């Protein structure tokens, strides 16, 4: 039997609010009735990639003041969406903790760039991928609320090429197995 696979891509505006993220999950849910596998490619929340890029540029200039402000913004915006979408406290706490870890990685990378006074393409790729990784964790947490089990998700990050030209790193999740019908 041939497996039918559908690839869907959602941009930052589509996942930038809790309402948008919920709509994405509804689209995925309805689509899964006709497809055995759905691959979801998700962008960072609207404006996050630009914020990360701006922070890296500030860090290269030795200005580290924007790092803490950006970290607080990232935590607030992602936590707000998690609070709206993930009702189960343990799962929501796990998602927020994962986002906090990614924000800590952001701060560490920016501080390293600030100390070095330069950003290599690899460092910039690592930094800019964090927005997609945070967004993907929110989506995964919301989808795990009963219709999909976390073990049906796989997160893959392709980093074989640089993204410094604003070409996004594909962040995708493959929903296979049980359709949750």
Give pLDDT, residue 65: 86
In a domain, 154, yes or no: yes
At residue 29, what are phi and psi to the nearest 5 degrees?
Answer: -60, -45
Can you give the residue range of the structural domain that contains 104? Answer: 5-175
- pLDDT of 150: 40
pLDDT for residue 175: 45
Residues 56 and 51: their CA atoms lie apart, in Å, by: 9
- pLDDT for 162 equals 47
Q: What's the CATH code of the domain at 51?
A: 3.40.1160.10
Q: Is 180 part of any domain?
A: no
Q: Is residue 30 situated within a structural domain?
A: yes
Q: Which residues of the chain have pLDDT under 50?
A: 149-153, 157-163, 165-181
Strand partners, 8: 40
pLDDT at position 155: 53
Q: How many domains does one find in the chain?
A: 1
Is residue 146 within 8 A of residue 115, CB to CB? The reply is no
Give the CA distances from residue 143 to residues 136, 146, 176, 180, in Å, rounded to whole numbers and listed in that order. Answer: 10, 7, 13, 11
**Looking at residue 30, what is its pLDDT?**
84
Task: Show Cβ contacts of residue 31 under 8 Å, excluding neighbours closer than 6 positions.
Answer: 6, 8, 38
Per-residue CA distances from 165 to 34, 101, 171 (Å): 36, 26, 17
The predicted-structure confidence for 104-148, as pLDDT tens digits, reads as follows 999 999 999 999 999 999 899 899 999 999 999 998 888 776 555
């Amino acid at each position: 039997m041939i497996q039918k696979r559908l690839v869907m891509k959602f941009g930052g505006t589509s996942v930038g609010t809790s309402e948008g993220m919920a709509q994405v999950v509804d689209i995925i849910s309805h689509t899964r009735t006709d497809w055995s596998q759905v691959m979801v490619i998700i962008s960072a929340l609207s404006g996050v990639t630009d914020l990360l890029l701006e922070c890296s540029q500030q860090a290269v200039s030795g200005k580290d003041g924007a790092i803490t402000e950006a970290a607080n913004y990232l935590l607030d915006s992602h936590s707000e969406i998690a609070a709206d979408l993930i009702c189960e406290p343990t799962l929501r706490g796990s998602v927020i903790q994962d986002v906090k870890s990614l924000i800590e990685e952001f701060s560490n990378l920016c501080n390293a760039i600030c100390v070095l006074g330069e950003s290599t393409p690899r460092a910039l790729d690592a930094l800019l991928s964090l927005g997609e990784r945070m967004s993907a964790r929110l989506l995964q947490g919301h989808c795990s609320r009963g219709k999909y089990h976390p073990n049906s998700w796989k997160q893959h990050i392709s980093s074989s090429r640089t993204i410094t030209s604003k070409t996004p790193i594909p962040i995708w999740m493959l929903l296979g197995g049980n359709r949750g019908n």
